[in-house]
Chain A
Amino acid sequence: MSSATQTPFEPTTSTGRITNFVDERVGGSGILREFGRKVFPDHWSFMFGEVALYSFVILLLSGTFLTFFFDPSMAETHYHGSYVPLKGVEMSVAYSSSLNISFEVRGGLFMRQVHHWSALLFVASVSVHMLRVFFTGAFRKPRELNWVVGGVLLILSLAAGFTGYSLPDDLLSGNGLRIIDGVVKSIPIVGTYISFFLFGGEFPGTAIISRLYMLHIMLVPAMILLMVAIHLFMVVVHKHTQYPGPGRNDRNVVGYPLGPVYAAKAGGFFFIVFGIIAMISAFFQINPIWNYGPYDPSPVSAGTQPDWYIGFVDGALRLMPGWLFNIPMEWNIPLPWGTNTLSFNVLGPALIPAGLIFALMFTYPWIERWVTRDNREHHVLDRPRNAPTRTAIGVAGVVLYCVMWAAASSDLIATHFHVSLNDVTYWLRALFFIGPVLGFIVTKRVALALQRKDREIALHGRETGRIVRLPHGEFQEIHAQLDDYKRYKLVGYESPVAEEGIPNENGIVTKKENLRAKLSSFFFEDRVAPATPSELEAGHHHEAIEASDDDNKAVTH
């Protein structure tokens, strides 16, 4: 201290010395200062991305444990473990080692269940996160690319799930692989070649499990990690979005700094998620592979379904008729080198709905940007009701997905509700086309109605249920005005107006521009304008008269 040389900090405790040593070499305090001051807005719906990240970490941890004991070989063996109903049964080494993980390895069954439950939660939380981002308009500039990265993450998580589902080589996973094999083979001309390449010969072959295993434990997780890194980097660059509120705009972020409270909350949340998964893994059985028996291409069990996230493709396959009004959906096409079969009854449902949903999902930010010609940055989110058409489009997509999803469990719907399986299929086929339209109309009307209600409340206040009689005999209900903070939420939003087509420099409205104008009116024709300041002023004035009437009455009493 007494010396005047440049020793800015002299730690006194041993912890301080160690910290200082590290800090002088890697500059941790600078990073901490920067990141510790990152501000995150607080809202429950912002935490599903975190749930996804945490379940991915749990997947890595439990998956590593499973690799210690799993053997992805399709060599034949006889089971000699402790599960009696399979004693001596011929099976693959992969299935046998999965059974050993379940019954011989200490804690193995628990870890298998942790891995599988967290996989289901991972994809579910990714989906909910994406729905939140869509319905609040968080995909708008500057976040379009991060939306695409998120979509890629969703596809990768499906890939991770599917490759993992097939590994135990039990009857259920083998049936799932058989369906994939069928879909691949239905691709015209090259399908059979791809199938033979994938399975190393005719299905099921002896190669597929070890190939899927490599994808499942190396390539897919590595790609997910890379995408997660890009995703989080962009979140840091863009900063977090926030819900509309007083003092919040596109140039600020209102919330808590990361350090210390928010970091503690987020860190603690990891353990909450881990705890929930551990609890359900301890108490609820998932994928009881011993029930299904070893894979053998001849038996197919009733109630064979994929895990929930592949369900919509399975459902589409179930909904597709093989014949449509005496027209077969499978054609033999003569080609110069012979006849090729086009199985549209398999190819169509397997690829078209999923392709449509993902294509729309990836391009939607650009579609909306083109229609609105809105090139500004948006950091304040939309309440779903304040973007009625977007919300309605989203709900239509969700309905389409859910119809296919329900179709994947058509047999269970039939047995549990005592209805005919055929009727379930017919209804779902109809709903496949009608459902999204109905969903769109109903949602749009509900959103507009909610906007109208907001406007009404902003202008005239909340109904108190208190009826007063005025001196001249009139009855009136007293409306209580909202405070400014609450009223801001009801009036502080943008409400675009439908645009006419804009002529180009030659004064011509191009066809493309005409289409844009049509879409613009589709989006914004039905519109409830937010209450303007002058309207609010008028509303309050009206309120003031009511209030003074009330006062007069009080005086006369």
Chain B
Amino acid sequence: MKALSQKRRHPLAALALLVLGLMLTGGLYAVVTTVNEAKADTTTFTAHQVEEGEKLFVANCATCHGIGANGTDAGPSLAGVGAAAVDFQVGTGRMPMQMQGPQALGKPAQFTTEQTRELSAYVATLGDGPAVPSEEYLDGNGDAAVGGELFRVNCAMCHNAAAAGGALTRGKFAPALAGVSNSHIYEAMVTGPQNMPVFNDANITPEGKRDIITFLNTIEEQGNPGGAKLGSLGPVSEGLFIWTAVLGVIVGFTVWLTSRTS
């Protein structure tokens, strides 16, 4: 303690204090947000949440989805889409939609976790639908090898074998999956957002979904054994690289080798 108090007028003391303060607030924030997420995973909603959710819905969503979420020309009815669909669409920022287009683009979420939960609570009352998945399927402790096989058979044709994303028709696309949270991946599978088909529990069991999530977590964490991945886009980026960077360097050397010494 004495050693610490002696150093309190050290030139770097202020900096150390700042770093400490930042880490403390950051750490607390991280804890608080994960606590919030954990709460969101419970499937029961209070009547208060439903009430608040309806207010939010009328103010933000009813323009397109209609009062009572009955649907309009601009947006579909939400009866029966379930809490999971709301949690995915609102949680990834796809809803409210940035603009009309081939498909809604992900962006920073517009609502807080609690507001998203309230919206989910309201939409869940409109009809039975997939609920927000429970924590046991989201821990990423399944079998990565089984998940990999399921992914290649069910997902890779749109999302690419390395989950780097791919093109669909008329400007639609399957996004890259790096950085997507486990619960959002699960929700996407059960609700089939945008152009994605629904993979219900008869298609892929909840355990299978857990394995797929584990596979995605594993390939994201393991990095690239062979060096820079060049976008994981396969032979196209490799060919581009050899024709631009490598041939460029080689031309540089040929010019150097054939230049006359002065």
Using CB atoms and an 8 Å cutoff, list the residues of chain A in contact with chain B.
Answer: 42-48, 51, 84-89, 102-103, 109, 113, 117, 120-121, 124-125, 128, 171-172, 265, 268-269, 272-273, 276, 280-288, 290-293, 296, 298-309, 311, 408-412, 414-415, 418-423
Contacts and interface: CB of A to CB of B under 8 A. Distances in A.
Interface of B: 102, 144-145, 147-149, 152-153, 156-162, 164-171, 173-174, 215, 218-219, 222, 224-230, 232-236, 238-243, 245-247, 249-251, 253-255, 257-258, 260
Given A86-B148, A121-B242, A300-B157, A414 B254 contact: no
Contacts of A45: 254
Contacts, number: 197
B148 A418 contact: no
B227 A283 contact: yes
B171 A414 contact: yes
B156 A301 contact: yes
Contact of A411 (B144, B167, B249, B260): B167
B185 to A, nearest CB: 16
A90 B234 CA distance: 23
A311 B166 contact: no
Nearest to A308: B239
Main secondary structure of the interface of A (DSSP, over half): helix
Given A42-B258, A276-B249, A285-B225, A303 B233 contact: yes
Contact of A302 (B159, B241, B255): B159
A48 B166 CA distance: 35
Contact of A422 (B166, B170, B226, B257): B170
A301 B161 contact: yes
B147 to A, nearest CB: 8
B145 A305 contact: no
A273 B228 CA distance: 20
B165 A302 contact: yes
8 contacts: A48-B254, A89-B149, A120-B239, A124-B247, A286-B226, A286-B238, A305-B235, A411-B167
B210 to A, nearest CB: 14
Main secondary structure of the interface of B (DSSP, over half): helix
Contacts of B168: 421
A423 B138 CA distance: 39
Given A298-B153, A299-B153, A284 B232 contact: no
A102 B239 contact: no
Contact of B250 (A268, A273, A414): A273
Given A85-B219, A299-B157, A276 B250 contact: yes
A305 B161 CA distance: 12
A290 B224 CA distance: 10
Nearest to B224: A285
Contacts of A120: 238-239, 242
B171 A87 contact: no
A154 to B, nearest CB: 16
A311 B257 contact: no
Contacts of A124: 242-243, 246-247
Nearest to A285: B226
Contacts of B242: 117, 120-121, 124, 308
A408 B236 contact: yes
Contacts of B239: 120, 307-309, 311
